[in-house]
Amino acid sequence: MTGAELDLGGVRLPEPRQLEAYFALTEAVSLLQHHVEQQLRAEGGISNIQFQILMALNGVERLTMTELADGVVYSRSGLTYQAAQLEKAGLVTRRPSPEDERATLVAITDRGRETVGKVLPGHIEVTRRLLYEAIPAADLDRLGDTMARVRDHIREEPPRSAAPRRKPAPKR
């Protein structure tokens, strides 16, 4: 078994390298996000979460709040707040869906697209400088594959108690 594990005081500790990986992962991402946040705030006056919302809306016609929430790791009430901020800033519009009065359709405006265009180069520059530049391209590819698997694995994780809004099974 490769899983040689220490057993201290009843706690089965993973090997040091595993802990190392976890800590390096979270710390590096924290640092990265911090820099990204600065850049977006400085160049476009938006937060990272707002940027992600705009990016999610950028390619499509419009999305409901729920669809938006599925694409962004975020609480629903927080999303409501941010959507309101973005609307106030004129970067998105919100209107009730004609098909389902409960649903809110969110769409990006021209001004929103303009903002994306304004901050995207800097955003890319920051990630290039901090992430792509730090490691060889081959490693980056492997990293991407690995993290995609982790992401999918966690997404499939059954929630601890209540079901977390799965995709709404095609009606009927």
Partner DNA sequence: CATGTGTGCTTCGAGTTCGAAGCATCTGCG
Partner DNA sequence: CGCAGATGCTTCGAACTCGAAGCACACATG
Interaction site with DNA (CB under 7 A): 47, 49, 64-66, 69, 74-85, 94, 100-104, 165, 168, 171-172
Go through 104-114 and write b for each residue having 16 or more CB atoms within 10 A of its CB, e for each that does not.
bbbebbeebee
Is the distance from CB of 14 to CB of 8 less than 8 angstroms? no
Return the number of the residue (74 or 94) whose C-beta is nearest a second copy. Answer: 74
The residue from 51, 110, 155, 172 that contacts a second copy (CB under 8 A) is 155
The residue from 22, 58, 60, 114 that contacts a second copy (CB under 8 A) is 22
Closest contact distance (angstroms) between CB of 149 and DNA is: 24
Q: Is 6 helix (H, G, I), strand (E, B) or coil?
A: strand
Closest contact distance (angstroms) between CB of 53 and a second copy is: 14
Residue 35 interacting with a second copy (CB under 8 A): yes
Closest contact distance (angstroms) between CB of 84 and a second copy is: 22
Residue 141 interacting with a second copy (CB under 8 A): yes
d(CA 22, CA 138): 21
Q: Annotate 63-119 with DSSP letters as a single string.
A: EEHHHHHHHS---HHHHHHHHHHHHHTTSEEEEE-SS-TT-EEEEE-HHHHHHHHHH
Query: 81 is in the binding site of which of DNA, a second copy, none (Cβ under 5 to 8 A by kind)?
Result: DNA
